[in-house]
Amino acid sequence: MNLTRAVPADTAALAERARAHGRFGIDTEFVPEGRYRPLLCLVQVVVGEDIVLLDPLAHGGRGDFDPAPIAGLLADPAVEVVLHAGRQDVAILRREWGTEVTSVFDTQVAAGFAGFAAQAGYLGLLADALSIRLEKSASFTRWDARPLTEEQLVYAREDVEHLLPLADDLQRRLRAAGRLEWAQEECQAIADASDVRDPDEVWRRLPRSASFSPRDRAIARELAAWREATAEREDKPLGSVVKDQTLAELVKRKPADVKALGQIRGIFPDVVKRRGRDLIAAIERGREAEPIVQEEEGERLHAETADGPTLALAEALVRARALEAGLAYELIAARADLARAAQRLWD
């Protein structure tokens, strides 16, 4: 297989070849640490037997390629996009390149329908499906540093070198089992992946959010939305602004002034100084807002009191049927799905 190093690439010609093949493979290297959203550091594209490494950080972050032709490929329903565990790759590319993503075939998702584990790693799947064994050594290297090392270039190449043959093997297995359409349908969730969060909904991820009162939810929404906007503006991780546990404690305590704010665990003097007024203002907005009442509260309470043995038996039955069918259990029903089913039995 041919390797083009991380040098300026003719992405228009690359896209033309991909359309002629009807598909291409893609992977990314990114750095999530210390930022609000992961930083895209490298894009690996394989078309036929050619691998091209595209460097968005070349030339001081200006990049060494035009992403528009590859973005167009991602959005073209006539071109199959092959990835492995590609949810975050899709989310990053959608955001960075402002594109939709359509005809995805994710080899991790497909593996679950072909009798492999639902969360099969790339290395393990290559070994099990194609008897190819690779040694990966550069996973947690500094992908944002330049120049890239020879080790990193080899690692990046290997991430896509066998991606298309792996997809061929899985599709062959799925056709034989009559499950290719099932896998393709499940891959749509990968195609829809996004890392853009709704600031009015992020409060639901806070610790103990399920126990918040309607008034607490309104305060949590304002605090979490403020933190989201602050982290994005400063390009910092959410936890470096205010940690989750501390934000949940603010919802519980509802300090009315900066002095009371300073008594909250996790609110250090520098936080009080820099962000105290903003935090108190967010709490006040939550106090004045309409309480957030959830229609499903009664249903959830009923579900939580459902018969535990019934849920356990349902889970065991699904696992047994999945084993018989050669399907990954996780692809059939999550525990939350079984809980809802158990609830309907009680209704």
pLDDT-derived band at 139 (thresholds 50, 70, 90) equals confident
Residues 284 and 301 in one domain: no
**Domain assignment present for 197:** no
How far apart (Å, rounded) are the C-alpha atoms in residues 258 and 278?
Answer: 10
Domain limits for position 110: 2-191
Say whether both 150 and 261 belong to one domain: no
Q: Both 161 and 81 in a single domain?
A: yes
Of 288, 312, 327, the one marking the end of a domain is 288
pLDDT > 60? residue 228: yes
Q: Considering the domain boundaries, does residue 114 fall inside one?
A: yes
Is residue 339 predicted with pLDDT exceeding 90? Answer: no
Q: What is the pLDDT of residue 233?
A: 97
Q: Which helix (H) or strand (E) holds 207?
A: none
Same domain, 184 and 264: no
Residues 97 and 133 in one domain: yes
180 and 168 Cβ atoms separated by less than 8 Å: no
Work out the percent of the chain whose per-residue pLDDT is above 90. 78
**Residues 250, 321 within the same domain:** no
Q: Lowest-confidence range among 13-27, 106-120, 216-230?
A: 106-120
Position 8 scores a pLDDT of 54
- CA distance linking residue 142 with residue 155, whole number of Å: 13
Considering the domain boundaries, does residue 196 fall inside one? no
Q: Residue written as tokens 């009798």? A: 115
197-202 average pLDDT score: 96
Q: 231 and 238 in contact (C-beta within 8 Å)?
A: yes
What is the tally of structural domains in the chain? 3
- Separation of first and last alpha carbons in the chain: 60
Nearest CA-CA partner of 72 in 106, 94, 99, 54 = 99
Taking only the tens place, the pLDDT of each residue in 277-331 is: 999 999 999 999 999 998 655 444 444 444 566 667 666 666 666 666 677 766 7
* 233 and 275 housed in the same domain: yes
CATH number at residue 232: 1.10.150.80
Q: Are residues 224 and 179 in the same domain?
A: no
From residue 172, alpha-carbon distances to 131, 190, 297 in Å are: 16, 21, 46
In a domain, residue 148? The reply is yes
Residues 131 and 88 in one domain: yes
In a domain, 277, yes or no: yes
Residue range 230-283, pLDDT digits in tens = 999 999 999 999 999 999 999 999 999 999 999 999 999 999 999 999 999 999
Burial category of 49 from C-beta neighbours within 10 Å (exposed 0-12, middle 13-18, buried 19 and up): exposed
CA dist., res. 93 & res. 286, Å (int): 35
pLDDT of residue 299: 44
In the chain the beta strands, taken as DSSP E runs, fall at: 2-4, 23-31, 39-47, 50-54, 80-83, 104-106
Residues 162, 308, single domain; the answer is: no
- Residue 312 inside a domain? The answer is yes
Domain final position from 271, 288, 305: 288
Looking at the structure, do residues 36 and 137 belong to the same domain, yes or no? yes
Same domain flag for 186 and 206: no
Which of 191, 226, 253 lies at the terminal end of a domain, its last residue?
A: 191
pTM score over 0.75: yes
Bridge partners (DSSP) of residue 23 are 80
